[in-house]
């Protein structure tokens, strides 16, 4: 984080009132020092889901979590990012930046990226909606008014179509509401209004982001942001903000593959089902499904009412869990595992609404049943909206030029032509029909000459944009993060420093490095 935070003050941000618990960065590192190989974690997941201890690693391997298991085996502190759409915002990068600070201080770390591109899109989910519309990427600071504010390049992400994987076709759409209920990875997008830092049209992603996409070829919402994330991480490594892949490995884990595999093997104990409120039809309705008591009574009074209601929601009760018809557990079923995987999970659990919070609270209670430590560190999403108002630029390279003003000669030429047109328009008012036709022809000729001058200026501008190594392209010397974001990152970095003062952490690191 270097130069950007050395002079910043720490600003404490407390989570809004919530039944959910949060811990601190220093506490998560302290817990890692107690269980660096995740033995308690693996044992805990096995117990929660009723999977034989001797089988849990095999199940996780089959679920695509081999890289996670290797990180634990290597004794790395595992941080987690979990989202359906990997937008490289300061919010989602907080866990990565903090893990990088830990590595710099000698704490071996890794990052697991839990992604769920197959999740269904809904306009009620703010995270998914924020993936559309104008996206602003920071490229530096504007100090014009004495206050450093981010300079940005921008683009507009719009829905374009829905891909039908079975038919191999794409149905065009024009409104985001038409994507309701579709998988996020089936939503095809178009990129419009690509702007440089002067709010000038630059035309290509290469000019705005330093990387090129073939915009003539359809690309899905999730593929677009995943590509941006990968390039952003690579750039942050190249520029020294993050350690190398060897020192800070990152692994992608598909949530559907992982949790479907776990659910197929699961047989959670009765106490877990009761705590998650998945033990009886009434509890299932009023708990994870969020049905009010009166409505639940009406459903249960009907013959087969419970089963029919589940069917309308596209879920079924299987192996003591609620899962979709494709076997993917609903979030209330997989939250207990999700809260156990990482040593450190910087996120805002309390930002998703009452039903979301209730299900997470029950998952925390399940974790408590088995004496597993807290890992959630509050990411002040609500208190610091700047965390999600911007995206980190994927390369730092962008076109910083503007369409030049006319030269004196060009300006004099166009001014003289416009003056002549004005005079002709005045004469036209007094002219007869035949004279008007002739005057109009002269005006058209003069207008064509003006357009020729304008076209020459535009052509020169487009040529400068196309010249990727030209003088108009710059590479930003900093990330241009808002001051409020830097303060949050600095607070997390302070947590790493505080952890190093802990005797348990010091002892573990001493033993670790004296045995290498």
The string of DSSP codes covering 428-456 is HTT--HHHHHHHHHHHHHHHHHHHHHHHH
Report the pLDDT value the prediction gives residue 2, as an integer from 0 to 100: 37
Average pLDDT over residues 295-321: 93
Angle at alpha carbon of residue 290, lines to 285 and 295, rounded to 5°:
60
Average pLDDT over residues 420-438: 84
Choice among 230-244, 299-313, 368-382, 447-461 with the minimum mean pLDDT: 447-461
Most confident of 13-22, 393-402, 416-425, 435-444: 393-402
Choice among 3-12, 114-123, 422-431 with the minimum mean pLDDT: 3-12
Q: Identify the burial level of 325 via C-beta atoms within 10 angstroms of its C-beta, where 0-12 means exposed, 13-18 middle and 19 or more buried.
A: exposed
Closest CA to 228 of 135, 296, 164: 135
Report the pLDDT value the prediction gives residue 16, as an integer from 0 to 100: 52
Report the pLDDT value the prediction gives residue 246, as an integer from 0 to 100: 97
Look at the alpha carbons of 468, 472, 475, 479 in this order and tell me if their dihedral is positive or negative: negative
Q: Is residue 39 classed as helix, strand or coil in its secondary structure?
A: helix
Report the pLDDT value the prediction gives residue 356, as an integer from 0 to 100: 84
Average pLDDT over residues 256-261: 97
For residue 416, what pLDDT band results from cuts at 50, 70 and 90? confident
Report the pLDDT value the prediction gives residue 129, as an integer from 0 to 100: 93
Hey, what's the torsion of the CAs at 168, 172, 177, 178, to 10 degrees? Answer: -50
* C-alpha distances in Å from residue 331, one per residue of 315, 358, 499: 12, 11, 32
User: Residue 248 in contact with residue 103, Cβ under 8 Å?
Assistant: yes
User: In angstroms, rounded to a whole number, what is the distance separating the alpha carbons of residues 393 and 208?
Assistant: 9
How many CA atoms are closer than 13 Å to the CA of 52, on its beta-carbon side? 3
Model confidence at 213: pLDDT above 90: no
Please give, one letter per residue, the 3-state secondary structure of 167-208: CCEEEECCCHHHHCCCEHHHEEEEEEEEECCCCCECCCHHHH
Report the pLDDT value the prediction gives residue 414, as an integer from 0 to 100: 79
User: In angstroms, rounded to a whole number, what is the distance separating the alpha carbons of residues 509 and 36?
Assistant: 11
Q: How many CB atoms lie within 10 A of CB 171?
A: 12
Average pLDDT over residues 117-137: 92
Q: Is residue 276 classed as helix, strand or coil in its secondary structure?
A: coil
Report the pLDDT value the prediction gives residue 108, as an integer from 0 to 100: 97
**Which element (helix H / strand E) includes 8?**
none
Compare 167 and 122 and report the one with higher pLDDT: 122
The β-bridge partners of 345 are 376
Compare 174 and 102 and report the one with higher pLDDT: 102
Compare 212 and 47 and report the one with higher pLDDT: 47
Structure tokens at 252: 């992608």
Model confidence at 394: pLDDT above 60: yes
Compare 226 and 403 and report the one with higher pLDDT: 226
Q: Is residue 67 classed as helix, strand or coil in its secondary structure?
A: helix
Model confidence at 312: pLDDT above 90: yes
In eight-state DSSP terms, residue 349 is G
Model confidence at 150: pLDDT above 60: yes
The β-bridge partners of 161 are 172, 188
DSSP 101-161: HHHHTT--EEEEEEE-TTSBP-TT-HHHHTTSEEEEEEEEEE-TTSS-EEEEEEEEEEEEE
Residue with structure tokens 């925390």? 364
Average pLDDT over residues 106-132: 93
Report the pLDDT value the prediction gives residue 440, as an integer from 0 to 100: 86
For residue 352, what pLDDT band results from cuts at 50, 70 and 90? low
Choice among 310-314, 358-362, 465-469 with the minimum mean pLDDT: 465-469
Report the pLDDT value the prediction gives residue 437, as an integer from 0 to 100: 85
Report the pLDDT value the prediction gives residue 117, as an integer from 0 to 100: 94
For residue 6, what pLDDT band results from cuts at 50, 70 and 90? very low
Measured in degrees and rounded to the nearest 5, phi and psi for residue 431 equal: -85, 155
Average pLDDT, the chain: 89
Model confidence at 4: pLDDT above 50: no
Average pLDDT over residues 293-301: 94
Report the pLDDT value the prediction gives residue 9, as an integer from 0 to 100: 33
For residue 353, what pLDDT band results from cuts at 50, 70 and 90? confident
25's CB contacts (< 8 A; 6+ apart) are: 98, 344, 346, 377, 492, 494, 495, 496, 498, 499
User: In angstroms, rounded to a whole number, what is the distance separating the alpha carbons of residues 13 and 502?
Assistant: 23
Model confidence at 406: pLDDT above 80: no
Report the pLDDT value the prediction gives residue 425, as an integer from 0 to 100: 86
């Amino acid at each position: 984080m270097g130069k950007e935070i050395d002079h910043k003050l720490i600003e404490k941000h407390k989570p809004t009132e919530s039944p959910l618990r949060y811990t601190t960065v220093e506490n998560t590192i302290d817990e890692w020092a107690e269980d660096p190989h995740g033995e308690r974690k693996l044992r805990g997941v096995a117990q929660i889901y009723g999977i034989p201890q001797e089988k849990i690693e095999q199940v996780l391997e089959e679920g695509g979590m081999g890289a996670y298991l290797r990180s634990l085996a290597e004794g790395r502190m595992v941080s987690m990012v979990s989202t359906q759409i990997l937008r490289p915002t300061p919010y989602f990068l907080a866990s990565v930046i903090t893990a990088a600070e830990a590595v710099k201080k000698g704490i071996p770390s890794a990052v697991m990226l839990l992604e769920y591109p197959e999740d269904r899109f809904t306009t009620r989910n703010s995270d998914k909606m924020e993936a559309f519309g104008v996206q602003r990427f920071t490229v530096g600071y504007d100090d014009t008014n004495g206050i450093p504010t981010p300079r940005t390049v921008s683009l507009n992400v719009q829905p374009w179509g829905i891909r039908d994987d079975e038919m191999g076709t794409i149905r065009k759409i024009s409104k985001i509401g038409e994507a309701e209920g579709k998988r996020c990875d089936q939503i095809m997008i178009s990129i419009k209004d690509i702007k440089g830092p002067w709010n000038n049209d630059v035309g290509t992603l290469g000019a705005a982001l330093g990387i090129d996409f073939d915009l003539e070829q359809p690309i899905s919402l999730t593929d677009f942001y995943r590509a941006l994330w990968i390039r952003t991480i690579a750039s942050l490594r190249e520029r020294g903000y993050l350690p190398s892949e060897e020192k800070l490995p990152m692994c992608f884990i598909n949530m559907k593959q992982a949790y479907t595999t776990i659910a197929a093997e699961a047989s959670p104990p009765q106490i877990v089902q009761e705590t998650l409120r998945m033990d009886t039809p009434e509890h299932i309705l009023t708990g994870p499904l969020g049905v009010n008591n009166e409505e639940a009574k009406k459903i249960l009074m009907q013959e087969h009412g419970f089963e029919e209601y589940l069917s309308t929601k596209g879920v079924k009760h299987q192996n003591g869990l609620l899962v979709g018809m494709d076997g993917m557990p609903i979030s209330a079923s997989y939250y207990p595992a999700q809260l156990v995987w990482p040593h450190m999970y910087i996120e805002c659990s309390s930002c998703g609404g009452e039903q979301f919070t209730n299900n997470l609270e029950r998952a925390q209670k399940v974790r408590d049943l088995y004496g597993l430590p807290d890992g959630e560190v509050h990411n002040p999403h609500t208190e610091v909206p700047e965390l999600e108002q911007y995206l980190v630029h994927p390369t730092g390279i962008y076109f910083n030029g503007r369409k030049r003003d006319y030269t004196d000669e060009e300006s004099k030429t166009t001014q003289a032509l416009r003056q002549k047109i004005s005079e002709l328009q005045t004469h036209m008012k007094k002219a007869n029909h035949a004279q008007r036709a002739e005057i109009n022809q002269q005006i058209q000729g003069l207008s064509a000459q003006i357009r020729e001058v304008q076209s020459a200026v535009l052509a020169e501008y487009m040529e400068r944009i196309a010249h990727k190594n030209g003088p108009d392209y710059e590479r930003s010397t900093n990330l241009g993060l808002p001051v409020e974001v830097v303060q949050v990152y600095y607070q997390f970095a302070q947590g790493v420093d505080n952890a190093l003062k802990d005797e348990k952490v010091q002892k573990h690191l001493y033993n670790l490095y004296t045995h290498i």
